[in-house]
Amino acid sequence: MSSPASALQLENLLYEKKDGIAYVTLNRPKVLNALNAETWRDLQTAFETTRQDEEVRGVILTGGGDKAFIAGADISELSRMNAVEAEKSSSFGQAVLSLIEDLGKPVIAAVNGFALGGGCETAMACTIRIASESAKFGQPEVKLGVLPGGGGTQRLPRLVGRGRALQLILTGEIINAQEAFQLGIVNRVLPQAVFMEEIRKLAAQIAANGGVAVRLSKMVIDAGFNMDLAEACSLESYAFSLGFSTEDQKEGMTAFLEKRKPNFKGR
């Protein structure tokens, strides 16, 4: 019988699970995968289901079609909002992106085109960002008379530094994949011909490791980032000790000593 995640049917997303990897694909190519309220809810459903699915060890998030990862918010929807509705929309989008960021499983953003506004914010909430050569990034909200509302004013400075983030947000400038790589927004830029193949290899490489160790490593890096060094190292020691209470630790070290590949169970 299929697990709930493999059977997931959503209006604005495609969901597939294969070899322990969940593939979440925005499926609104006619509007460049723009984020409307229904799509935000579909993303929430997909990632909540993924979080609960023990078979899933990682996620690849990408956009349908050949032009956009996510081109931004659905402006036709935003243009009709009042201030109260805008606050609710912003808070809900931020909650969905926090779910992605704190999933407990690595999420790779396969940025295959435009990642603007909410699309750039969605990519920044992912664990790792890989861009195709045609990808474009930006937070152009000021050109619409508003500011980023999905965490862009907070995640972008943490990735590129305050000064560079201010320049990008205050100008609304759109940058190409190589510029995004130079700034540290993306980890790699790949040719379109090998784009998804290389991302699948990366996801499989991570998924082959001890699931608890991967989860704890991400938790310590995220939590320790804003701590002072002594506190962060103390947290690392605690998480390191937790690893020694897991089946994965025993299997990993036994496999090493026996010169074989480990068979991790994620517990």
Provide the annotated active-site residues.
121, 141
Distance of alpha carbon 37 from alpha carbon 45, whole angstroms: 13
Q: Please name the helix (run of DSSP H) or strand (run of DSSP E) that holds residue 174, with its range, or none.
A: strand 174-176
Count CA within 13 A, CB hemisphere, residue 135. Answer: 33
Distance of alpha carbon 141 from alpha carbon 124, whole angstroms: 16
C-alpha dist (Å) from residue 64 to 70, 74, 85, 105, 147: 9, 16, 28, 22, 26
Distance of alpha carbon 230 from alpha carbon 67, whole angstroms: 46
